[in-house]
Amino acid sequence: MEVTLMHHTPLEVCAHAIRTCWQSFDKSDEGGEKDKALIDRVGNKYKHASTLEHLVYTFYIKGVSRALLQELARHRITSLSVKSTRYTLKELKNREPFNENDYKKAEEFLVLTGNKMVDTASIKALNNLQEILKLGTSNDIAKFCLPESYKTELTWTINARSLQNFLELRSSKSALWEIQSLSHQLFDTLPMEHQYLFEERISKKQN
Amino acid sequence: MEVTLMHHTPLEVCAHAIRTCWQSFDKSDEGGEKDKALIDRVGNKYKHASTLEHLVYTFYIKGVSRALLQELARHRITSLSVKSTRYTLKELKNREPFNENDYKKAEEFLVLTGNKMVDTASIKALNNLQEILKLGTSNDIAKFCLPESYKTELTWTINARSLQNFLELRSSKSALWEIQSLSHQLFDTLPMEHQYLFEERISKKQN
Amino acid sequence: MEVTLMHHTPLEVCAHAIRTCWQSFDKSDEGGEKDKALIDRVGNKYKHASTLEHLVYTFYIKGVSRALLQELARHRITSLSVKSTRYTLKELKNREPFNENDYKKAEEFLVLTGNKMVDTASIKALNNLQEILKLGTSNDIAKFCLPESYKTELTWTINARSLQNFLELRSSKSALWEIQSLSHQLFDTLPMEHQYLFEERISKKQN
Amino acid sequence: MEVTLMHHTPLEVCAHAIRTCWQSFDKSDEGGEKDKALIDRVGNKYKHASTLEHLVYTFYIKGVSRALLQELARHRITSLSVKSTRYTLKELKNREPFNENDYKKAEEFLVLTGNKMVDTASIKALNNLQEILKLGTSNDIAKFCLPESYKTELTWTINARSLQNFLELRSSKSALWEIQSLSHQLFDTLPMEHQYLFEERISKKQN
């Protein structure tokens, strides 16, 4: 998977929002250490979490499975625009069938699990789907035999409060392995100076 | 698919909410024709749509595909609790493999499209998955080769404003066939006296 | 203030939603002790808080100040229909001016603080407003001199997850005294068998 | 009133989000005319309104009344951090009482309506409040006699979809005059190249 940060709100906007409440603008250091401490104190420790909503991140996420998408979409205080199978399955039409053991090649379209039986089953499904599409079946019918390992992409906008909740639940050891991995990549992709807001929410990486 | 209405708010609660604004409680007929006309006038015609949010419906939806679930979950002003593949795939373990042309039997687990090639491809995927599970592979790995036609169930809570939006977008002829069908079943499952609030939003059924 | 519960979802709907995930319907006792323990375990302890969203409460709240309304309206995962000053200020027109020390009479329109200076200042403002309205000034202009102690009413729909958040923040000793009091009345108005879901969130009453 | 745009998402982020669905990135002109037409077509005409949610604006709004704030806060798909009367009323303590007809001076703290009786009533309330505060009454008690014309400030974050809804409802001739005025100032403060997304939603200014 590949995660890119396309846009984010600078910390000083959040600090300004907090200073609106107490009218303490004169104490600002424009997104510096004082402002950072303020955001953590008010947004995290004082549970005035709505102030964190002014920080908004737009990520571009590539190469995750539609299995993962099922879980990600349950987080509803976000905005997501997802690659549509209804409109893009034609991408398979002009391809050769995949060799059932050529995982490297299939990885262009599938998230691999490392379990050969599962990955081969996905490749078989991919080949069946390709054949069906080549016969001119409409995407809306063909997509029903799509395996959930099929790769998708999305542009995802989420504020810091909602992202804290996402990272806490989805980096947990009891979460699906792929979404644990996404959680860590999201964290790593955040601007360095924003990461401190999420550090207590994210579980340590598994070896 | 099968849709059941598990709970809903009576119309008079919404009428009471509207009458709160103008303090016109004495004009109520306790959910009768006057109240119904009021809800339509204020909630729909006057665009005071937040008043419709007091009407909340909880549906139980069975036998829809995970392809449909991908679309349904994009509607974010709802609450959904979904049958978890992570916890329930074991249901396949004690079954015999499915005959690749026995659609009737496979329908217990799959949403059929009526296109034999697609449906057979789904059955093949189901059999591959079953074999993988029988070997003791964990659900979190095995589920990646699940076909999107796999049937799921959910308890879904949605208010009338959000349901209007859902029905307008998803009963449209340009929507996925299965979610068009769900839209009509949701409408048909609504209490008779609530249906008038949604009639202008829902497209006519396709023959 | 006066709080009435107009409608609520029964606990078994929430239990059913949770049992959807694991398909454990056969273990239900239809909203009894087993189901109650399940809801607490999954919704609270396991942090699967979205399952609590299926429980929806509609309250009718009377006799709170517009000062309190300013705070209540910040809780955005709720639906509220509020008595409109733009449409109802005429209620003052046919009244006699209030004696500045007759708090009992003024209480029909004002939330009293117990501080005589503050309460008298509110009565003065009420009398000024009344005079202005009697001269035919439109509500949209007149309402700008309304004191925030002016009483209002609302129909308020909120789910259990959002209500937990409300009660935790607003029953706290550091919250505004009037909203602390509302928090306790909301809790007391909940159906007895629902209260256990909120007990850990609500602060003890102040003497 | 004074409205400043503190931060906004560039149009190309939204165009990228839309192009994610169809994988049409090669047709982008990086936020130019083609991208602008795409956003309008998909987000507005095709009713794929969730794509507009990627555009997020943070405004700083100064000098609006708490009467207006009551209405603004009903728009719940936004984030707002508001000047707290609980913490900032001390600002009145060190001031001289206001002359009841010196509107110019009182305008520092009050939104004036142009109706002398109303504005004088607000000044009287302001003086009463000031006196009460000077005697050491706590803000939490004193604020109950605050007039709704009292000026406040807020940092307000809202996405384009929610802002469209706000402008449509609040620029209408039937809306409160002050919020009509705010709607037009918000529109005028938007980046020039974003305004086309809102033009059909906003009512013409009143003379």
Q: What interface predicted TM-score (ipTM) does this complex get?
A: 0.96
- Residues in chain C with CB shorter than 8 Å from the CB of D65 are 144
Contact residues for C150 (Cβ-Cβ < 8 A; gap 6+): C65, C66, C85, C109, C110, C111, C126
* Mean of pLDDT values over C147-172: 98
What are the counts of helices (DSSP H) followed by strands (DSSP E) for chain D? Answer: 9, 4
Say if the Cβ atoms of A148 and B146 lie within 8 Å: yes
Query: Residue C163: what are its φ and ψ, rounded to 5°?
Result: -70, -35
Please give the DSSP secondary-structure letter assigned to residue D104: H
The span from the CA of B176 to the CA of C37, in Å, is 40
Structure-token pair, residue D143: 């604020």
pLDDT value at C206 more than 70: no
Question: Are the CB atoms for C104 and C95 separated by under 8 Å?
Answer: no
Enclosing H/E stretch for A6: strand A2-8
Sign of the CA dihedral running A46, A47, A52, A53: negative
- Residues in chain C with CB shorter than 8 Å from the CB of A168 are 47
Say if the Cβ atoms of D144 and C118 lie within 8 Å: yes
pLDDT of residue B147: 98
Q: What is the pLDDT of residues C9-25, one digit of tens each?
A: 999 999 999 999 999 99
What chain B residue is nearest to D165 in terms of C-alpha separation? B47
The span from the CA of D127 to the CA of D115, in Å, is 18
Sign of the CA dihedral running A28, A34, A35, A40: negative
Sheet arrangement for strand A56-65: A2-8, A56-65, A151-159, A78-82
- Residue to mutate among C22, C60, C157, C161, with most B CBs inside 10 A, is C157
CA triplet B19, B22, B28: central angle to 5 degrees?
35
| The amino acid at A10 | P
C-alpha closest to that of B60 among B75, B38, B82:
B82
The span from the CA of C76 to the CA of A94, in Å, is 49
Question: Are the CB atoms for A40 and A197 separated by under 8 Å?
Answer: yes
pLDDT value at B204 more than 90: no
What chain C residue is nearest to D134 in terms of C-alpha separation? C117
pLDDT confidence band for C183 (50 / 70 / 90): very high
Exposure letters C79-95 (e unless 16+ CB within 10 A, then b): bbbbbbbbebbeebeee
Say if the Cβ atoms of D20 and A155 lie within 8 Å: yes
pLDDT of residue D131: 97
The verdict on D75 touching A (C-beta cutoff 8 Å) is: no
Q: Which regions of chain D does DSSP assign to beta strands (E)?
A: 2-8, 56-65, 78-82, 151-159
Question: Are the CB atoms for C98 and C126 separated by under 8 Å?
Answer: yes
* Mean of pLDDT values over A108-127: 98
C-alpha closest to that of C144 among A77, A97, B104, D66:
D66
Q: What is the pLDDT of residues C73-98, one digit of tens each?
A: 999 999 999 999 999 999 999 899 99
Structure-token pair, residue D168: 């449509």
Structure-token pair, residue D87: 């913490």
Say if the Cβ atoms of D83 and A20 lie within 8 Å: yes
Q: What is the pLDDT of residues B94-146, one digit of tens each?
A: 899 999 999 999 999 999 999 999 999 999 999 999 999 999 999 999 999 99
Lowest mean pLDDT, pick from B55-69, C193-207, D11-25, D81-95: C193-207
Question: Are the CB atoms for C137 and C130 separated by under 8 Å?
Answer: no
The span from the CA of A19 to the CA of C128, in Å, is 35
pLDDT confidence band for A207 (50 / 70 / 90): low
Residue B180 to chain C, least CA–CA distance (Å)? 23
The span from the CA of B41 to the CA of D53, in Å, is 29
- Residues in chain C with CB shorter than 8 Å from the CB of A50 are 74
Structure-token pair, residue B42: 């204020």
pLDDT of residue D204: 82
The verdict on A205 touching C (C-beta cutoff 8 Å) is: no
The span from the CA of C101 to the CA of D103, in Å, is 29
Nearest to B9 among C7, C17, C159 (CB): C7
The verdict on A155 touching D (C-beta cutoff 8 Å) is: yes
Residue C101 to chain A, least CA–CA distance (Å)? 34
Enclosing H/E stretch for C59: strand C56-65
The span from the CA of B126 to the CA of C51, in Å, is 29
- Subunits with 3+ Cβ pairs within 8 Å of D are A, B, C
pLDDT value at B53 more than 70: yes
pLDDT of residue A206: 63
| The amino acid at A203 | S
pLDDT value at B207 more than 60: no
pLDDT of residue B97: 96
Distances (CA, A) of C39 to A170, C44, C61, D169: 21, 8, 27, 40
The span from the CA of C69 to the CA of C82, in Å, is 9
| Other CB atoms within 10 Å distance of the CB of residue B203 | 17
Question: Are the CB atoms for A150 and A66 separated by under 8 Å?
Answer: yes
Strand partners, D60: D4, D155
Residue D24 to chain C, least CA–CA distance (Å)? 35
Say if the Cβ atoms of C74 and A47 lie within 8 Å: no
pLDDT of residue D18: 97
Question: Are the CB atoms for B67 and B176 separated by under 8 Å?
Answer: yes
The span from the CA of A21 to the CA of C158, in Å, is 26
- Residues in chain D with CB shorter than 8 Å from the CB of A30 are none
Nearest to A169 among C47, C74, C169 (CB): C47
The verdict on C26 touching B (C-beta cutoff 8 Å) is: no
pLDDT confidence band for A118 (50 / 70 / 90): very high
pLDDT confidence band for A107 (50 / 70 / 90): very high
Active site residues of B: 170
Identify the three-state secondary structure at position C61.
Answer: strand
C170 given a catalytic annotation: yes
Query: Residue B145: what are its φ and ψ, rounded to 5°?
Result: -100, 15
pLDDT tens, residue order, chain D (207 aa): 999 999 999 999 999 999 999 999 999 998 899 999 999 999 999 999 999 999 999 999 999 999 999 999 999 999 999 999 999 999 999 899 999 999 999 999 999 999 999 999 999 999 999 999 999 999 999 999 999 999 999 999 999 999 999 999 999 999 999 999 999 999 999 999 999 999 999 988 765
Q: What is the pLDDT of residues A92-103, one digit of tens each?
A: 998 999 999 999
What chain C residue is nearest to B11 in terms of C-alpha separation? C7
pTM of this structure:
0.97
C-alpha closest to that of C56 among C192, C207, C200, C191:
C191
Give chain D's length. Answer: 207
The catalytic residue among A19, A161, A170, A201 is A170
Residue A117 to chain B, least CA–CA distance (Å)? 7
pLDDT of residue B1: 97
Enclosing H/E stretch for A158: strand A151-159
Residue A74 to chain B, least CA–CA distance (Å)? 7
